């Protein structure tokens, strides 16, 4: 059976980690908005190609994003959707084009989110991710993979982290309400180890 799973959660909630584990466990595609746009940046829509907006440094409009995501879902034999929908219009569009088996919201306290985001370190050379508390490198400040320097990205400072979380709440609360009103939303406590959270998510998917 092919699963069609939507994972929602604020920055730092663990969507990327859990989506990748789900995709591997169930043999389905891990679909993110960014990957879908990059893979289909030349795709013609009535509003132009994603590339035309990306090259201009502009946000890709909802209708274009919607078409790209639909193309990615149509090509997938089951999927975990991560990073979409970001607003109510996108959520309503998604409900029209597919039937979701599970819509899961990872519930994590804001202070925990901030700790997770500000502790993240990224290799300046190969892009590998670490965390000072949860996934430290063998040698502080040095990438295990390539020996590159580990840096804190600008969007992982506390001020920026809190701004990103607030934007998520502002934009995505209507999305959460939409799926809650449809009776398909399940909230999962995301404040445990990744394996424990994965077990909770799997229970929802398989129920």
User: Which DSSP string do the residues of 129-161 spell out, in sequence order?
Assistant: EEETTTB--SBTTB-TTT-PBEE--GGGSHHHH
- Which residue numbers belong to the known binding site? 12-17, 33, 38, 58-60, 83-86, 90, 120, 123, 126, 143, 146, 153, 164, 192
Give me the pLDDT at residue 62, please: 93
Report pLDDT for 202: 95
13 three-class SS = coil
The predicted structure's pLDDT at residue 67: 92
Q: What is the pLDDT of residues 72-116, one digit of tens each?
A: 999 889 999 998 999 999 999 999 999 999 999 999 999 999 999
Q: Alpha carbon 66 to chain centroid distance?
A: 16
Class of domain 2-27+76-108+166-204: alpha beta
Give the largest Cα separation in the chain, rounded.
51
> Any bridge partners for residue 103, and if so which?
6, 185
- Cα–Cα distance for residue pair 13/57, rounded to 1 Å: 27
Helices (H) and strands (E) in the chain, counts: 8, 8
Domain locations in the chain?
2-27+76-108+166-204
Residue 35, pLDDT score: 86
Q: Which positions of the chain have pLDDT values less than 50? A: none
Tell me the binding residues for Zn(2+): 123, 126, 143, 146
Q: Which residues are annotated as a binding site for ATP?
A: 12-17, 120, 192
- CA separation for the pair 11, 23 (Å, rounded): 20
pLDDT at 1 (0 to 100): 58
User: How many residues are listed for the chain in this entry?
Assistant: 207
Tell me what pLDDT residue 54 has: 87
Give the Å distances, CA to CA, from 190 to 59, 92, 93, 176: 30, 25, 27, 16
Task: Report cis status (omega within 30 of 0) of the bond before 85.
Answer: yes
Helices (H), 79-119: 88-97, 110-118
Catalytic residue IDs: 15, 86, 120, 153, 164
Instruction: Please report the pLDDT score of residue 34 as a whole number.
Output: 85
Q: How many Å apart are CA 52 and CA 150, to the nearest integer?
A: 33
């Amino acid at each position: 059976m092919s699963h069609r799973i939507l994972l929602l959660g604020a920055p730092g909630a663990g969507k990327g980690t859990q989506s990748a584990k789900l995709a591997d466990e169930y043999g389905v595609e891990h679909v993110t908005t960014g990957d879908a746009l990059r893979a289909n940046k030349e795709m013609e829509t009535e509003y132009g190609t994603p590339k035309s907006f990306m090259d201009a440094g502009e946000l890709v409009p909802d209708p274009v994003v919607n078409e790209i995501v639909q193309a990615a879902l149509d090509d997938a034999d089951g999927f975990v959707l991560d990073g979409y929908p970001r607003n109510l219009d996108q959520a309503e569009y998604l409900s029209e084009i597919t039937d979701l088996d599970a819509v899961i919201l990872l519930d994590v306290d804001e202070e925990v989110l901030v700790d997770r985001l500000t502790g993240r370190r990224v290799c300046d050379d190969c892009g590998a991710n670490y965390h000072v508390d949860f996934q430290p490198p063998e040698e502080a400040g040095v990438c295990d993979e390539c020996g590159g320097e580990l840096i804190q990205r600008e969007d992982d400072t506390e001020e920026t982290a809190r701004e990103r979380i607030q934007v998520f709440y502002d934009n995505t609360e209507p999305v959460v309400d939409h799926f809650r009103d449809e009776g398909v939303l399940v909230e999962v406590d995301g404040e445990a180890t990744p394996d424990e959270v994965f077990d909770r998510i799997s229970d929802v998917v398989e129920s």
